[in-house]
Amino acid sequence: MDFFSITGGRRLSGKIRAESAKNAILPMMACAVLTKEKVIIRNCPYIKDVLSMKEILEYMGAKVFFSGDGVIIDASDLKRFEVPSFLSKKLRSSIYMLGSVLAVNDKLKISFPGGCDIGARAFDIHLDGLKKLGVDVIEEEGCILCRREKIKGSEITLKYPSVGATENLIICSTLCEGSTVIKNCAKEPEITDLIRFLKKMGAKIYGEGTGVIRIEGVKKLNGVEYTPIGDRIEAGTYILASLISGGEIEISNVLPQNICSLLNYFCNNTCKIRISNDIIYIKKEESFSGLYVSTGPYPDFPTDLQPVITAFCTVADGKSVIRENVFENRFLYAYELKKMGANIKIDNNVAYVSGEKKLYGANLYAKDLRGGAALIVASLTAEGESKIFGTEYIDRGYYNLTEKLSLLGADVKRNYEN
């Protein structure tokens, strides 16, 4: 069994580069089926979620291989139009195959997607939108069966600004007949990046970054070579890891405006911050007071950083309140932090945190990707050694984690235990 061992107490400082955003890459990989030409995604990290999407595409008949810093996909000869449970259960982003496959084929069978157990992730928003585009949907025995004659443009209003549903409907509409208007869209930077990617393929999409997106269907899309934006969640994780240790970090390949909801907490003279293009430098200068954090759709604070900033708050001065408004099961990691001496009380969707002077090393178990990152960050400041099990979750979203943390000065190793 793999585990990370971390001996806390070291001050982290140095320079690292963020990888391309996992949440941008996965829908782009699904989009490879929209064209008969090759799709090349540059600066693509070799992480578990990317490898799971590679497996799905290869099962369907695509050729997928890594070359240099990129992944190359040739989906010109698909043979299967099905995503079975042994593949879909590995990856929630398998749901993106709905939009991409139905744009080019009249049917698809997909088992309900898996991923981290952080709460209900309703797919009805996806399915309701696809029905508006002319797709017949049957749900039975853990599967979604979809058939259609042709994709026809429509006006769709999402009942919630779901990132996945927004992206799925955009993808499906690129090759539709006529015009599609999607209202109450999510506005996350990864959606804007997906639209840029699709426009480079020849799609006609308008309104990126707003709550209303219009797609004019085209008959054909071309191959593309594209470098996605930097991963704002990875960048935020390393920023908080450095600050919890009292250190400083310069992180490149991340657009500051994409994580301003995090940076705003440290602009009140507690930190020295310099920003230059896609480079952020931040250094702790004063002690940190408790925070009030409330998650929500972009530009609100991202739910994927909520566990990490909660870990940070366990050693801040005073009390913090963390309100989770997206996933109801996202506080599972808090019970692991309590093993370290953290003072956390969970009440429904709110965590009340009283900062402690010190945390202590413990044997910890990650139960999801971002909860695992929270345990990593807490361990960096804890007294003594921590062992963090459940590396398979953390590997889903962080590339070269031990190498990057070691570069910043952390005492971290990956170990194997029989």
Which residues carry out catalysis? 116
Closest CA to 313 of 276, 282, 350: 350
- Identify the burial level of 21 via C-beta atoms within 10 angstroms of its C-beta, where 0-12 means exposed, 13-18 middle and 19 or more buried: buried
User: What are the DSSP E strand ranges found in 277-393?
Assistant: 279-284, 292-294, 319-323, 343-347, 350-354, 363-365, 385-389
Tokens 């810093």 belong to residue: 69
Q: From CA 52, how far away is CA 391, in angstroms rounded?
A: 16
Encoded tokens for 1: 């069994």
Give the H/E segment covering residue 339.
helix 334-339
Sheet holding 179-183, edge to edge: 155-157, 179-183, 212-216, 204-206
Encoded tokens for 410: 């952390």
Closest CA to 404 of 13, 12, 3, 16: 16
Burial letters 94-122, b for 16+ CB under 10 A, else e: bbbbbbbbbbbeeebbbbbbbbbebbebe
DSSP string, 90-136: T-GGGGHHHHHHHHHSSEEEEEPP----SS----HHHHHHHHHTTEE
Cα 202 to chain centroid distance, Å, stands at: 26
Closest CA to 400 of 11, 14, 18, 6: 18
The answer to whether the CB of 314 falls within 8 A of the CB of 290 is no
212 vs 13, 242, 299, CA distance in Å?
A: 42, 38, 16
Q: From CA 311, how far away is CA 7, in angstroms rounded?
A: 16
User: Regarding beta strands 248-252 and 279-284, do their DSSP bridges make them parallel or antiparallel, or are they unpaired?
Assistant: antiparallel
